[in-house]
Amino acid sequence: MTETDFQYVQELAARHAGIVLVRGKEYFVESRLGSIARSAGYGTLAEFIAQLRRVPVGTPHLQAVEALCTQETSFFRDFHPFELLRQSLLPDLLRKRAATRELRIWCGAAATGQEPYSLAILLREHFLQLAGWRVQILATDLSEATLRRARVGAYTQLEANRGLSAALLVKYFDQDGTQWLIKDDVRSMVEFRPLNLIGSWPTLPSMDLVLMRNVLIYFDTATRQDILRRLRQVLRPDGYLLLGSAETTLHLDGSYELIQHERVTCYSPAQVADPLADALNRLSGLSGQ
């Protein structure tokens, strides 16, 4: 692809998803956008991009941006964070919320649903005491197409094999031809909604646990800082944040405390030395949203 076309796509991805496409990613862009161009009836990628340039930003542009997002995910991805949740973070949150019997969890880049469904399965499997609690799992993503797949909750054998044991598979999924369909009682635990992390966020309830995994890596430093700052306002003071293994708040946002558990780092809002300064910070943050 030409340099000018690549620059156009770079700008589109940065403006609408915050995604940084560095030089050298031309091949990736060609392969992702090439298939969209072909299915939309364009002879070449250059023709498709020329058309995108001609018309005001609309559905085809956003579809192109979505195609540039990496949706790589799997059930119980990385294993250890889910062990930490099972052994430590969830029991701790259950103790802290015993009076209200409410638990709110947000998966901020849910992709095709494996991550929020893993959480729902974990809760079903190991926290029977949550029966009678109000448990909310909000799963959001930029990509509408991805969210449609997530809501259906149908996975190929290959996708199911990535992270699910045979026992969990038959317990929480129904076989439907060549696919495995998540059972209704697990599906209904998760609410899927579109949310662009770099846009303005709708009013969200305070969260006890946020999973924002494997998405910050695609953003530049200022965008990561902005998202971490806004997350801090959504996360309850005694709640937890989990990031991807290649992501951290370190050197980006000092208002998180790092808690190291063997192989996993999780984050919690740092204790505030000066509550008045903290309140003023939050207010200035809110006015900047």
Ligand X SMILES: C[S@@+](CC[C@H](N)C(=O)[O-])C[C@H]1O[C@@H](n2cnc3c(N)ncnc32)[C@H](O)[C@@H]1O
225 binds ligand X (CB under 6 A): no
Binder to ligand X among 120, 123, 182, 197 (CB under 6 A)? Answer: 197
143 binds ligand X (CB under 6 A): yes
The residue among 97 and 113 lying less far from ligand X, judged by its C-beta, is: 113
Give the length of the chain.
Answer: 289
Q: How deeply is 141 buried, as exposed, middle or buried, from its count of CB atoms within 10 A (0-12, 13-18, 19+)?
A: buried
Number of residues that bind ligand X (CB under 6 A): 24
Binder to ligand X among 64, 75, 77, 266 (CB under 6 A)? Answer: 77
The residue among 25 and 96 lying less far from ligand X, judged by its C-beta, is: 25
Binder to ligand X among 3, 23, 39, 72 (CB under 6 A)? Answer: 72
Burial 52-89 (b: 16+ CB within 10 A, else e): beeeeeeeebbbbbbbbbebebbbbbbeebbbbbeeeb
The residue among 77 and 97 lying less far from ligand X, judged by its C-beta, is: 77
214 binds ligand X (CB under 6 A): yes
Question: Which ranges constitute the DSSP H helices of the chain?
Answer: 3-17, 26-39, 45-54, 59-67, 80-84, 90-96, 114-126, 144-152, 157-161, 166-172, 184-187, 221-234, 275-287
253 binds ligand X (CB under 6 A): no
243 binds ligand X (CB under 6 A): no
* Residue 87 per-residue DSSP state: I
Binder to ligand X among 5, 12, 18, 123 (CB under 6 A)? Answer: 18
73 binds ligand X (CB under 6 A): yes
Query: How near is the Cβ of 222 to ligand X at its closest, in Å?
Result: 14
Per CB under 6 A, the segment of 40-48, 158-166, 173-181, 194-202 that binds ligand X is 194-202
The residue among 71 and 225 lying less far from ligand X, judged by its C-beta, is: 71
Query: How near is the Cβ of 77 to ligand X at its closest, in Å?
Result: 4
109 binds ligand X (CB under 6 A): yes
Binder to ligand X among 9, 17, 93, 120 (CB under 6 A)? Answer: 17
Chain centroid offset of residue 96 CA: 25
Residues forming the site for ligand X (CB under 6 A):
17-19, 69-73, 77, 109, 111, 115, 141-143, 146, 196-198, 213-215, 218, 244
